[in-house]
């Protein structure tokens, strides 16, 4: 949880020339069309009892809204799922290669995965034994992203190609890591603006795996749906705070330098790739919610209502770190999360945060098992994530309300050109 904003979700709007009334009629028709699917999803376990509650079919078919038609491209300079806007639903899953599986099996698997990802991101069936879960849905901004863990290289005899930037992360005092839910040979990130489209992709990827690998861990997350707010805004997390404001922006001149491995970087197969740090951060919500609103804002260093710094202005106004109140106290506390995570307080260290919230019910202690699936991207984690987390470890006010429960670091190669698969330069180089 770092004070760098997540990519903003685009709010679907009214098409040029379309009246508000027409837009409203389309929305109503769309909801009617999807009524049956929505009801089925809610009562899957009691389908027999729910049969009489299916919505009546719409009078006429309605076109998909932009939520369904928006499409991300599979082929490109970078893999999808890094710079795209936050999606409403996500799955992150790690795999370990099966006993006896090596480079040959991994190559065949990445070929299958890449072709399946290409088809699904275009809104097509998976191409073989499709489950029909996403039938009639559009692409819904689906992205599927692939990465390699530290252990992958020994398993495939490619140790000499393992990047030094993939060396294990150091230990931090806030770590309470579950090894069974950390790391992995292979990593897949799935995001979409429709839950069924995301689940459909997850199942297709899992089925493609066959006997080559097995799931090591899986985590599921969510964000606010596009269009749920009156205007695009930085995401809120489960603490109710606007979560981040200082994310690097693609329009900034040094964005690629901070986030992506350069064309002539090392190793060569990582050109245009990035490194993903993945952490399951538990929020201790019962303790957090006992704080007053003012106390919560002091912990973060920003107003809860609009994300503006406590020093004043709007969310985008630069934080005044020296401003004091009438008593001479710093307006932004010295241990406020937003103060500590600023790039200018960490030697310029920056990362692109692209998380999902999670809620996995109530744990055995009777408290919410909820928090943030923290995913951040950088050209080198030793210059991005690590220095910021070390700084947080030394005195972040937020640390007593969160717990890092799992961790992974993955090398995510550049995008695949047409006719190629992800990781081809590594596996066939």
Catalytic sites, residue numbers: 243
Element at 103 (helix H, strand E) = helix 103-121
User: Is 123 exposed, middle or buried, given 0-12, 13-18 or 19+ CB atoms closer than 10 A?
Assistant: middle
CA nearest to 66, candidates 120, 13, 25, 132? 13
- What count of other Cβ atoms lies within 10 Å of the Cβ of residue 55? 14
Pull the structure tokens for residue 98.
């099966």
CA nearest to 222, candidates 191, 244, 201, 243? 191
CA 202/CA 108 separation, integer angstroms = 18
As a whole number of Å, the end-to-end CA separation of the chain is: 37
Contacts of 146 (CB under 8 A, 6+ apart): 79, 110, 113, 114, 117, 186, 187, 188, 412, 413, 422, 423
CB contact at 8 A, 426 and 371: no
Q: How many whole angstroms from its chain centre is CA 206?
A: 19
CB contact at 8 A, 112 and 371: no
């Amino acid at each position: 949880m770092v004070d760098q904003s997540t990519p903003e979700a685009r709010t679907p709007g009214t098409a040029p020339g379309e009246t508000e009334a027409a837009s409203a009629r389309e929305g109503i028709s769309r909801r009617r069309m999807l009524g049956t699917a929505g009801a089925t999803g809610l009562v899957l376990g009691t389908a027999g009892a729910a049969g009489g509650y299916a919505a009546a079919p719409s009078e006429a078919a309605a076109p998909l809204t932009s939520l369904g038609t928006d499409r991300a491209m599979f082929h490109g300079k970078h893999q999808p799922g890094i710079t795209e806007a936050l999606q409403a639903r996500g799955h992150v899953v790690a795999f370990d290669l099966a006993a006896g599986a090596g480079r040959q099996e991994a190559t065949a698997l990445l070929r299958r995965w890449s072709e399946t990802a290409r088809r699904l991101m275009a809104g097509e069936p998976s191409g073989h034994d499709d489950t029909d879960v996403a039938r009639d849905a559009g692409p819904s901004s689906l992205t599927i992203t692939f990465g390699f863990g530290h252990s992958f290289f020994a398993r495939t005899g490619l140790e000499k190609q393992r990047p030094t930037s993939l060396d294990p992360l150091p230990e931090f005092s806030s770590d309470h890591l579950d090894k069974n839910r950390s790391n992995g040979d292979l990593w897949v990130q799935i995001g979409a603006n429709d839950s069924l489209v995301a689940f459909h992709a997850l199942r297709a990827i899992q089925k493609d795996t066959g006997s080559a690998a097995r799931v090591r861990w899986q985590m599921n997350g969510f964000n606010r749906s596009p269009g749920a707010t009156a205007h695009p805004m930085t995401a809120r997390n489960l603490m109710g705070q606007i979560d981040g404001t200082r994310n690097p922006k693609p329009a900034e001149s040094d964005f690629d330098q901070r986030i992506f491995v350069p064309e002539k970087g090392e190793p060569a197969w990582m050109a245009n790739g990035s490194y993903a740090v993945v952490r399951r951060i538990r929020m201790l919500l019962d303790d957090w919610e006992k704080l007053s609103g003012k106390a919560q804002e002091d912990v973060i260093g920003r107003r809860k209502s609009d994300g503006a710094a406590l020093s004043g202005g709007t969310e985008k106004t630069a934080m005044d770190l020296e401003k004091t109140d009438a008593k001479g106290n710093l307006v932004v506390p010295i241990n406020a999360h937003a103060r500590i995570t600023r790039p200018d307080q960490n030697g310029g260290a920056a990362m692109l945060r692209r998380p999902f919230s999670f809620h996995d019910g109530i744990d055995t202690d009777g408290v919410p098992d909820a928090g943030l699936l923290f995913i951040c991207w950088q050209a080198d984690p030793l210059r991005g994530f690590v220095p910021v987390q070390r700084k947080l470890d030394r005195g972040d006010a937020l640390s007593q309300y969160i717990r890092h429960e799992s961790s992974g670091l993955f090398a995510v190669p550049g995008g695949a050109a047409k006719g190629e698969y992800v990781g081809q330069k590594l596996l066939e180089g």
